[in-house]
Structure 1
Amino acid sequence: MEIRGIWITTTASQVLNSRQNIAEAMNFLAETGFNVVFPVVWNNGFTSYPSRVMRENFGVEINPRFQGRDPLAELIEEAKRVNLAVIPWFEYGFASSYQKNGGTIIAKKPEWAARDSAGNLLVKNGFEWLNAFNSEVQNFLLSLFLEVIKNYEVAGIQGDDRFPAFPSEGGYEQKTVERYQQEFNQLPPVNSKDPQWLQWRADILSNFLTRVYREIISINPESIISLAPSVYPWSYENYLQDSKTWVDLGLVDLIHPQLYYREFDLYKKDIDRLLINQFTKEQLPQLIPGILLQQSTYRITPEHLVQAINYNRSVGVQGEVLFFYEALREDNNALAKVLKSGIYSQPAGKFDPKEIKKSGFTHRRTNDNFTYINPSQEISLKAQFDWVKPFSEGMAAVKMGYKWGYIDKTGKLTRFRFDSAEPFSEGLALVKINNKYGYIDKTAKLIIALQFDDAKSFSSGMAAVKIADKWGYIDKKSKIMIPAQFDDAKSFSEDLAAVKIANKWGCIDKIGQTKIKFELDDSAIFSGGLALVKVGNKFGYIDKEGKFIIEPQFDEADMFSEGLAPAKKGDKWGYINQFGEFVISPDFDLAKPFSESIALVNVGGEFKEDKEQGKAYFMGGKWGYIRKP
């Protein structure tokens, strides 16, 4: 499925003026090869549908231009007739008006106005702005989105370069200043582009987008959240649009950066930059760029348009959204004819929200939320994240979209910025950004710089790290304690660590001396004086002298904990004691070690192979906890 979209405006356009015009436009777009339309529903302080929210707040139900009609309902009916999806476009977002000193909204609710550092109404490029950090303003905008989602058969909603957005010159309203001062114990900088001040305000917008996303999919999990920001990082520095974070946190299903260049070479250059710096292979299906067809006296040439779309497909970009409809009709439909006879001549396929959602995180956010249970302290933390890891030393790694952060037991979060994050151990946590590993403390400050090609968590005051192709060990000051000389290495436990030379594993002590010969096919960490080892295709357990206490006989196994170890014979897992006897029958399809007298087990699941990534994943079945006998 390709995504072929077009924006329908109220400015310089007659489409929404009558049902006849709407029907003609929908017929024309379907015949040209489009499959989704983005009609404006919110601009200049008015909606283009009858809004109860607007009536109750401002006494104006609809843009007076459309009084007595419902252009959105008409457009949805006509679009449905020709198999076009409809995603309403909230054009003005947090902007209240254009060259109207705030318009009717700020006239009625002056406390909603945004302010610059001089205390003036925030104006940028002629647009007057609402305070995007004000909870009432946020609730108002959200109520407009939810009103449309609940009352109309639409495929989703769309924000643009004004949602979520806010000019970086703003944020100097009293409540915003007090909020910043409370967190940082200082006033906001006069320099509106101070890095901390930029990030703090951008994070407020990203957090609000998280709320918008969750509330919309709670009503309809198939609703598409579509955003058309200005180009990153310009959009971040000037309008606090941290669109890279939105994509990384899975807060947008389709994103349409406004690549409004008038030369193809500039368009191509920015597509290349986005693919290198902003979008990973997994995120690429979300990228559906915006292309400028017409603005003032400018109109794109047919050659430029075809070049841009062809380049999109050549690099794996499966669609675009064009700004805007009227340009297709100029010069006897010249641009439309080029599309219809060429790159849009083959059907795009029906716009399918389910297909789009496959590469996102909605399915995780509409099922039950994770609950982490800590039996010893009798607390239950309900975590509003896509993944969570158990608490360790008062902190838990949590994931949103593609990025990890940490949460403490009061609910305080660090920023989501890590590509991987391990539990805290001995006061430090192993993290990865891009392809390098380092260690942070509980304030998320990097204590050991991102420098290693691979690494393990600290244990016994040391951590295994990979430098170039070899493994060694460092201390907490990043000093090398055992030089990098091993082909693989595991963490220290009970003063021994398993290391690999060539194809065999042995164990060393903390000064690097060999304590168990390199004769094993695999070895795990010691626990309770025993280490799980592999010889041939079977697993058993050795003591610290390298002597077998339980001979290799299991098809798979895990470490001892609280006197028992999960072990597998044939297709099923059970639990053995330190004599190798099953004290819990092998009845499970997967079993994890005991912790505080309970263990996680699965019945009915199985490993499935992902050939593309060369990994196997355990999927399906039912999970539950068992208690020690």
Structure 2
Amino acid sequence: MKTKIGFSVALFLVFGHFYSQEYALVRENGLFGYINTSGEYAIKPQFKKADNFTNERAAASMGDKWGYINTSGEWAIQPEYEHVKEFNSGLALVNKGDQWHYINVSGETLETPVSDKYYDFDNGVAFFKRGEKIGLLGTDGKLIVEPDFDEIKPFIDGYAKARKGELWGMINKKGEIYIPIENQEIGDYNSKGVWVKKQDTFGIVANGNFYQVKNADKIWEFTDKSDLTYARSNKLMGFINNKGEWVIPPTYDKARDFSQGLAPVFMNKNWGYINEKGEKVIDFKFKDAEVFSANGLAPAKEKKWGFIDKTGNWAIQPEYDITAGLSFSIFQKNLEKGFINGLARVKYNKEWGFLNAKGEVLGNKWYENAEVFDDVKN
């Protein structure tokens, strides 16, 4: 059994991303189903409870027990569990008879050392707890790192925040130290840099060096959409580079990330947009504003939400809601706003649907609830 599951997980990890197929979880007449990006039902509503697809499996329930369906809506793993978690790295945590264990996408059990608490796999590793210490477990069921840390946060692009005692650092999936464990606080990994708080000083760790950010009292994470991130000094927001230099001085009451060369910023009780030189590009005239998507549109709000282009003109009139609050899926994820792969999830007259960049409703249809589209293989 152990060899068999190791082989099937390895096959998943090797062949798991050859094509993209996106579904969105929707609810109609109280039942859950899935639509494709053409707005057609890929799986008709039939489930009492359901979640998004990951690893070509989605947790679903028609009664009191949970199982997993495949992308055709057939039971890949029969509903026999009291509790389930989503698949990641070809493995999922399930609970049956008050016992947690890991299964693969075929429903086979993974043999692992006994843990004081079981954690989801994430990008090929899972946390492993023994006593009060945390280590790392591989998809073969063997320990990668003996329990030696007091806390480890989820991995991002192969790196995770890790704590020993009161101090934080960062490790890779082998448990090797990437950023020394010597900081009071630390941000999430990004290849451009990681913010840290060290001895009451905020700064950026980039390329193995620490760069102090003068007078900063908070820093936000870098993203892949810009070489700048925002930071706060004396209650005002500005933007810094990964050498800790203020490129745009602290000027604004609030700020969000740069994307497509523009960032939403807030001052004088309104939101507008600036470029990476700090120049105003779109007037401060919105009650709220989000970052631009890849298609050049951004959510912006007057009384309701609409979508503006990079000149600040309405591409889609402000007559929608875009914030779902808590996700209705059991794992409470996919709360993104704006356009994702060409479609934006919006709410209109208490129902949810999807708009394209022209403002057309996908499939000309609205739903009781709707999750954003996601690749079924992720």
TM-score, L = length of structure 2: 0.50
1:594 aligns with 2:344: no
Counterpart of 2:245?
513
1:488 aligns with 2:200: no
Q: Quote the Cα distance in structure 2 between the aligned partners of 1:554 and 1:369.
A: 35
Residue 428 of structure 1: how far off its partner (Å): 2.3
Q: Secondary structure at the match of 1:580?
A: coil
1:504 aligns with 2:186: no
Counterpart of 1:623?
370
Q: Indicate if the aligned counterparts of 1:522 and 1:535 stay in contact, CA closer than 8 A.
A: yes
Within 5 A, what are the aligned runs for 1:94-243?
A: none
Q: Secondary structure at the match of 2:188?
A: coil
Counterpart of 1:370?
52
Counterpart of 1:583?
315
Q: Quote the Cα distance in structure 2 between the aligned partners of 1:447 and 1:538.
A: 41
Q: Which runs of 5+ in 2 are unaligned?
A: 8-47, 60-67, 69-82, 101-116, 135-150, 324-335, 352-367
1:557 aligns with 2:286: no
Code of the residue aligned with 2:232 in structure 1: it is K
Compared CA separation, residues 503 and 554, structure 1 to 2 (3 A): same
Spell out, residue by residue over 1:41-99, the C-alpha distance to the aligned partner (whole angstroms, 9 max, x if none). Answer: xxxxxxxxxxxxxxxxxxxxxxxxxxxxxxxxxxxxxxxxxxxxxxxxxxxxxxxxxxx
1:529 to 225, 238, 261: 261
Q: Quote the Cα distance in structure 2 between the aligned partners of 1:512 and 1:462.
A: 10
Residue 434 of structure 1: how far off its partner (Å): 8.3
Q: Indicate if the aligned counterparts of 1:405 and 1:416 stay in contact, CA closer than 8 A.
A: no
Flag the structure with higher strand content: 2
Q: Indicate if the aligned counterparts of 1:576 and 1:584 stay in contact, CA closer than 8 A.
A: yes
Within 5 A, what are the aligned runs for 1:460-499?
A: 460-475=191-206, 477=208, 479-482=209-212, 485-493=215-223, 494-499=226-231
Q: Quote the Cα distance in structure 2 between the aligned partners of 1:595 and 1:428.
A: 25
Residue 504 of structure 1: how far off its partner (Å): 0.9
Residue 500 of structure 1: how far off its partner (Å): 1.2
Structure of higher RCO (CA pairs closer than 8 Å, 6+ residues apart): 2
Flag the structure with higher helix content: 1
Q: Secondary structure at the match of 2:278?
A: coil
Q: Quote the Cα distance in structure 2 between the aligned partners of 1:556 and 1:525.
A: 14
1:407 aligns with 2:122: yes
Counterpart of 2:58?
382
Within 5 A, what are the aligned runs for 1:34-45?
A: none
Q: Quote the Cα distance in structure 1 between the aligned partners of 2:271 and 2:310.
A: 14
Q: Which runs of 5+ in 1 are unaligned?
A: 1-134, 136-175, 183-365, 373-378, 606-620
Compared CA separation, residues 460 and 443, structure 1 to 2 (3 A): closer
1:454 aligns with 2:185: yes
Q: Quote the Cα distance in structure 1 between the aligned partners of 2:204 and 2:193.
A: 6
Q: Secondary structure at the match of 1:447?
A: strand
Q: Quote the Cα distance in structure 2 between the aligned partners of 1:540 and 1:398.
A: 45
Compared CA separation, residues 532 and 403, structure 1 to 2 (3 A): farther
Residue 463 of structure 1: how far off its partner (Å): 0.7
Q: Secondary structure at the match of 1:585?
A: strand
Residue 532 of structure 1: how far off its partner (Å): 1.5
Q: Indicate if the aligned counterparts of 1:602 and 1:623 stay in contact, CA closer than 8 A.
A: no
Q: Indicate if the aligned counterparts of 1:488 and 1:500 stay in contact, CA closer than 8 A.
A: yes
Compared CA separation, residues 500 and 438, structure 1 to 2 (3 A): same
Code of the residue aligned with 2:221 in structure 1: it is S
Counterpart of 1:440?
171
Q: Secondary structure at the match of 2:341?
A: coil
TM-score, L = length of structure 1: 0.32
